[in-house]
Chain A
Amino acid sequence: MIEVSHLSKSYGVFQGGRGARGAQKAVDDLSFHVDRGEIVGFLGPNGAGKSTTLRILAGFLGASAGRVRIAGHDIAEEPQRARAQIGYMPELSPLYPEMRSGEYLMFRAELKLIPRAKRRAAVAKALSQARIEDVERVMIGHLSKGYRQRVGLADALLGSPPLLILDEPTAGLDPNQIREVRELIRGLGGEHTVFLSTHILPEVEATCERALVIAGGRLVAEGSIEALRARSRAPSARIVARGERAAIVAIATSVAGVNSASAEPATTGGVALTVDFAADGDGAAITEALVAALVGAGVGVREVASHGASLEQVFTELTDTRADAASAREPA
C-alpha cells in the first residue's frame, strides 16, 4: 500500500536557521513498505522527521530525493490519484473555526470527490465512527481540543479511503478518548491500511502490529512489536542494600555472569547498586546468585528490581545511539 524508497527531504539553507552550515536533512534515505490491511506505527522522538515523512506521504510536501508510491501510484507523477487513496489527518488537526463540524465534513466530502448522492451518508458514517454526532451543528471554533481532534479524524475517515495516514491521532485527548480512538483504529485494520505516527510507546503497543522507529531522519529499527522487544540488550538489576559501598561492588562483580556493577548512595538510605549482566546470561539465575552472594557476605538487601526488556528501553536505546552518533558527526 505504501512503498517508500530512498526518501530524503532537506529544507532550504535559510529555513531552520542553520545559516551557512547548509541544508538540514529532516529525512535521510528512508526506505520501507506497508502492506494492505496493516496497522503500522511510526515511532520516534519529537523532531525525528515523523511529520515531515507523513506530509510527504500525504502529498503535502515534495521529497528532495527518492520515490513514494501509494497503492501503486507515484505521489510525484500521479499526485491526485495517489491522494485520492489517502485519508490524512495532519498534526494538531487544523480546521476552519467559522464552520460547523457537519458543514466542514460536507465540504471535505465534496473535495474528496464523493458523489453528491452519497455525501450525506458518508458524513454521517464518519461522524459516528469518530463519535462526534453530538457536535455536528456546533461551530468548530467552539469545540474543545479533543472534539476538534476527532473532527480531523472524521475528516480522514470520510469516504473510507483505503489508506489512513494519521499524525499523532491521540495528541490532546483525555485518557477515555485515547482509549476510544485506539479501539477505533484497531477496528480499522484489515479493511483499511493505517499508518500512524506517535512518540508515545504504549500507543504503538496498544494499536499496532508493526512499528518503524525513526530517529534523526533515519530508520533505526523495523519489525513487529515482539521483534523490537527482543532487540533489547541484556537485562540488568538494581539493588538497594545496607553495607559498605566498595565491599558491595566487589561482591557483586565477583558473581559469575555479572558484567559490571556501580553503586551510589540511595535516596532512601543504604547503597543503590546497578548491576549489568553479561549479554548472554540468564538474568533470573544471575539475580538469584547475586542476592545470595550479598546476603552470604552479611549485606542487608532491601530492594531488588530487575530491568526487563521493555519496549521503552529499546526505544531509548535506538534513538539515543542515533542522537549520540549525530552529535559526534557534527561538533557544535
Chain B
Amino acid sequence: MKGFWAIYKRELFALFVTPLAWVLITAFLVVQGIHFAILVTQFAGPADLTEGGPIPAFFGKTMLLYLPLLFVCPMLTMRVFAEERRSGTIEALLTAPVGTTGVVLAKYGAALTTFVVMWAPTVLYIALLARTGDVDWWAVGSSYLGIFGLGAGYLALGTMSSAMTESQLAAAMLSAMMLLAIFTVGLGEFAFEDGPARAICSYISPWAHMADFSAGIVDLRRLVLDATLVAVPLFTTVRTVDAWRWG
C-alpha cells in the first residue's frame, strides 16, 4: 500500500485540473436536475403514491438514473491506466518503490471520490423536498448507499477495462459494454416467469437493486454482490498491471 496517498492525491489533481471531471460532473448534474424537475412536476399534481413518493422515484424508477451512470462511470475511469501507458508515464510510476496494489487502489479510490463528489450536490434536492413535506431520511440514506454500491462496482469494472488497453476510447467502450450487459441481463427480471432464471436476473439487476435500497430495504445480499463487483475487477486489475511486466 506504499505510495497510496501520493498517487491518490495526484489522480484527483489530474482529474480536477483537467476539464474531464468538471465536464462529467456538469453533464451529470444537468441530467439529474432535469430528472428531479420532471419528478417534482409530476408529483405536484394528483399522483399515485402507492409506489412510493418522489424519493424512490428519483433513486431508480426512471432511466434517467441509470443512463447517466452507464456513461459517466466508464468515462471517469477510462484514463486511469490507459493514458499512463500510452504516454509512458507508467514506467516512472511502476519503478518507484510502490506496490501494484497501492497503485490500483489509489487510482480507483480517486475515481470513487470523484463519483461521491458528483453525487453530493443532489442532497440539495432532498433538502428542497424536506421543506415541503416529510422525508424518510432512512430511505434517503439507504438510497445513497445503494448508489454508492452500484457506482463502486461500475468504477472497478472501468478501472479494470482501463488496465486492459492503451486506448482510452477502447477502455470506455469496453466498460460501457460490460455495464450495459449487466443492466440488460438484469432486465430479464421482467422477461422470465418465476424460476431460477428470474431469480438470477433479479439478483444481478441494478434496477431491482435500487428498488430495494430506495424503499429503505438494506439487503445484505445486494451489498455482497456490490462488494464482489468491486473486489474481483480490482484483483484482476492488479494482476493485469503485473502482467505487463512479463509480456
7 contacts between A and B (CB under 8 A): A58-B91, A59-B94, A62-B246, A83-B97, A95-B92, A110-B3, A111-B98
Asked, given contacts A60-B245, A62-B246, A111-B7, whether A90 binds B97 with beta carbons under 8 Å apart, the answer is: no
Q: Does A155 contact B (CB under 8 A)?
A: yes
Q: What is the distance, in angstroms, from A99's C-beta to the closest C-beta of chain B? A: 7
Q: Which of B87, B95, B98 is the most central at the interface, judged by chain A CB atoms within 10 Å of its CB?
A: B95
B92 touches A90 (CB 8 A): yes
Q: Which of A81, A111, A113, A152 is the most central at the interface, judged by chain B CB atoms within 10 Å of its CB?
A: A111
Q: What is the distance, in angstroms, from A53's C-beta to the closest C-beta of chain B? A: 14
Q: Does A112 contact B (CB under 8 A)?
A: yes
Q: What is the distance, in angstroms, from B216's C-beta to the closest C-beta of chain A? A: 43
Q: What is the distance, in angstroms, from B237's C-beta to the closest C-beta of chain A? A: 18
Q: How many residues of B contact A (CB 8 A)?
A: 26
Cα of A308 to Cα of B10 in the assembled complex, Å: 55
B95 touches A107 (CB 8 A): no
Binds A, one of B13-21, B54-62, B135-143, B181-189: B13-21
A60 touches B88 (CB 8 A): no
A12 touches B18 (CB 8 A): no
User: What residue of chain A has the Cβ atom nearest to residue B100's Cβ?
Assistant: A79
Q: Does B42 contact A (CB under 8 A)?
A: no
* 78-124 of chain A: CB within 8 A of chain B: 80-81, 83-84, 86, 88, 90, 92, 94-96, 98-99, 103, 107-108, 110-113
Q: Does A61 contact B (CB under 8 A)?
A: yes
B88 touches A94 (CB 8 A): yes
Q: Which of A62, A95, A111 is the one whose CB lies under 8 Å from B245?
A: A62
Q: What is the distance, in angstroms, from A56's C-beta to the closest C-beta of chain B? A: 9
Q: Which of A12, A84, A155 is the one whose CB lies under 8 Å from B247?
A: A12
A107 touches B6 (CB 8 A): yes
A155 touches B92 (CB 8 A): yes
- Main SS class of interface, B: helix
B17 touches A83 (CB 8 A): no
Cα of A231 to Cα of B93 in the assembled complex, Å: 41
Q: Does B239 contact A (CB under 8 A)?
A: no
B3 touches A111 (CB 8 A): yes
Q: Which of B3, B18, B94, B99 is the one whose CB lies under 8 Å from A60?
A: B94
Q: Which of A58, A94, A110 is the one whose CB lies under 8 Å from B89?
A: A94
A96 touches B14 (CB 8 A): yes
- Please name all residues of chain A whose beta carbon is closer than 8 Å to the beta carbon of B87 when the two chains form the complex: 94
A80 touches B89 (CB 8 A): no
Q: What is the distance, in angstroms, from A62's C-beta to the closest C-beta of chain B? A: 4
Q: Which of A12, A15, A80, A88 is the one whose CB lies under 8 Å from B98?
A: A80
Q: Does B5 contact A (CB under 8 A)?
A: yes
A interface residues, Cβ below 8 angstroms from B: 11-12, 15, 55, 58-62, 80-81, 83-84, 86, 88, 90, 92, 94-96, 98-99, 103, 107-108, 110-113, 152, 155
A113 touches B17 (CB 8 A): no
Closest 4 CB pairs of A and B: A94-B88, A110-B6, A84-B97, A62-B245
* 1-30 of chain B: CB within 8 A of chain A: 2-3, 5-7, 9-10, 13-14, 17-18
Cα of A112 to Cα of B92 in the assembled complex, Å: 11
A55 touches B91 (CB 8 A): yes
B2 touches A80 (CB 8 A): yes
Cα of A11 to Cα of B245 in the assembled complex, Å: 10
- Please name all residues of chain B whose beta carbon is closer than 8 Å to the beta carbon of A62 when the two chains form the complex: 245-246
Q: What is the distance, in angstroms, from B196's C-beta to the closest C-beta of chain A? A: 40
Q: Which of B5, B91, B99 is the one whose CB lies under 8 Å from A110?
A: B5
- Please name all residues of chain B whose beta carbon is closer than 8 Å to the beta carbon of A58 when the two chains form the complex: 91, 95
Q: Does B47 contact A (CB under 8 A)?
A: no
Asked, given contacts A11-B247, A99-B13, whether A60 binds B6 with beta carbons under 8 Å apart, the answer is: no
B92 touches A107 (CB 8 A): no
Q: Which of A83, A88, A99, A111 is the one whose CB lies under 8 Å from B6?
A: A111
